[in-house]
Amino acid sequence: MKLTVVIYSAPSSQSAWSAYQFTRTALEAGHEIYRLFFYGDGVLNSSALSVAPQGEFDLIRAWQTLIAEHELDAISCVSSALKRGIIDTQEAARYERAGASLAAGTTLSGLGQLVDAALASDRVVSFGA
Amino acid sequence: MNPTLSTLHTVNKSAFGSDALASCLRVARSGDAILLLEDGVYNPVDAAALVGAGLARDILAENQSRAGPAPTGGSEGIRIYALREDLQARGIAAEQLPAHVEPIAYKDFVALVCTHRRTVSWF
Amino acid sequence: MMENSALPTRKVLTFISRRAPYGQGGAKAMLDMVLSAAVFDQQVNYVFMDDGVQQLRRGQEPAAIDAKNLSAAFSALPLYDVSNIFVDAESLQLRGLTPDQLVIDTQVCDADKIAELIRQSDVVFNL
């Protein structure tokens, strides 16, 4: 089946880990992930600048690995992201910020991509806190 | 009830601190399933207290209060599941759960999403 | 007219808004999702439940806390063809609210109606 996973929560919340674990398991079961959509605090899962404390599971890094390995379409909502300091090089230039902070493999885009995913997927599963 | 119309609900909060479970129980209907995950797995252990406090309907605890086979077990009624990893993490043993709450693994969660027409997440 | 081949036929999308307006961002996040779905010309149900009914309370002046007025946006929903707006009667009653205290006309409904809306939906967002 074609699944879309929506992540509303920051990596500090277990529900972000649950979303990751669900996505990983769905891929293992042979399902297609149509899109990962990070919304609200969920965009913090796509930070390139976060550092996990030593000895703790690095969820952000794990997302990046999963996205790269399976070439997943991962989108962070642009308005949520800008507000929370998750910006790509283009936005950094436009708003004259010191640097970009969006993790590789994730792109910034609008809510239309979430609606598109809802229309194109067989199932949508949301994770929030 | 046609299974192609039924809904998977997920609840990831304890009903002591959130109205997610109570609201889910208000709109879940026969044929639906409820998956408890994260802090949601505390709810069946606390079911009697939650029902007593008016924070949950008695379907969470019904196996404890009724004799005979649980009506949640078959295609009728509402099936209730709890994620095994979250139970394990929180120190909840399977035998502490009411008999009609079934512990499942992540691969079963994925399967439930696919076999239900839609998933509604309560948080 | 050419159909966009990537998109299937119209779907029914239901949005259950359960957060009060200003303390956290959930109410605004949900409104933005509803407006986006409406732009895609989908069948949208907008349901207010639990603390979400507080979004519709008259007399909000969020400028007092440097916040944008969320309730003003609800008046614009008809412009987006969002007319299936439901409010859970029990949530209103628990909070001492009556329909005449709300900023827009809505369909006051019971839990059975919300269950029915869910059952008729392809996708449900609940925030």
The domain spans of chain B are 3-122
- Reply yes or no on whether the pLDDT at B2 is more than 80: no
- Reply yes or no on whether the pLDDT at C32 is more than 70: yes
Assign domain A2-127 to its CATH architecture. Answer: 3-Layer(aba) Sandwich (3.40)
Of C16, C115, C122, the CB nearest to B118: C122
What value does the mean pLDDT of chain C take?
93
- Reply yes or no on whether the pLDDT at A90 is more than 90: yes
Identify the band that residue B65 occupies on the pLDDT scale cut at 50, 70 and 90. very low
Q: Which residues of A have a CB under 8 Å from any CB of B?
A: 1, 3, 8, 14-15, 18, 21-22, 25-26, 28-29, 31, 122-129
Candidates C120, A126, C15; CA nearest to B5 is C120
The domain spans of chain A are 2-127
- Reply yes or no on whether the pLDDT at C3 is more than 50: no
Assign domain B3-122 to its CATH architecture. Answer: 3-Layer(aba) Sandwich (3.40)
Identify the band that residue B64 occupies on the pLDDT scale cut at 50, 70 and 90. very low
CATH assignment, C12-126: 3.40.1260.10
pLDDT value of position A100: 97
Give CB contacts under 8 A, 24+ apart, made by C95-103: C95/C53, C95/C54, C97/C53, C97/C57, C101/C57, C101/C58, C102/C53, C102/C56, C102/C57, C102/C58, C103/C56, C103/C57, C103/C58, C103/C60, C103/C71, C103/C74, C103/C75
pLDDT digit string (tens) for C91-109?
Answer: 999 999 999 999 999 999 9
pLDDT value of position B42: 97
Minimal Cα–Cα distance from A123 to chain B, Å? 6
pLDDT digit string (tens) for B36-58?
Answer: 999 999 999 998 889 888 888 87
Check if A3 is active-site: no
The percent of residues above 90 in pLDDT, for chain C, comes to 89
Per-residue pLDDT, averaged over B99-103, amounts to 94
pLDDT digit string (tens) for A3-26?
Answer: 999 999 999 999 999 999 999 999
- The larger pLDDT score, comparing residue B64 to residue C16, is at C16
- Residue among A10, A33, A74, A77 flagged as catalytic: A77
pLDDT value of position C108: 98
Contact C63, C78 (CB under 8 A): no
- Reply yes or no on whether the pLDDT at B98 is more than 70: yes
From residue B116, give the alpha-carbon distance in Å to each of B6, B120, C116: 6, 10, 15
- The larger pLDDT score, comparing residue C1 to residue C87, is at C87
Minimal Cα–Cα distance from B109 to chain A, Å? 8
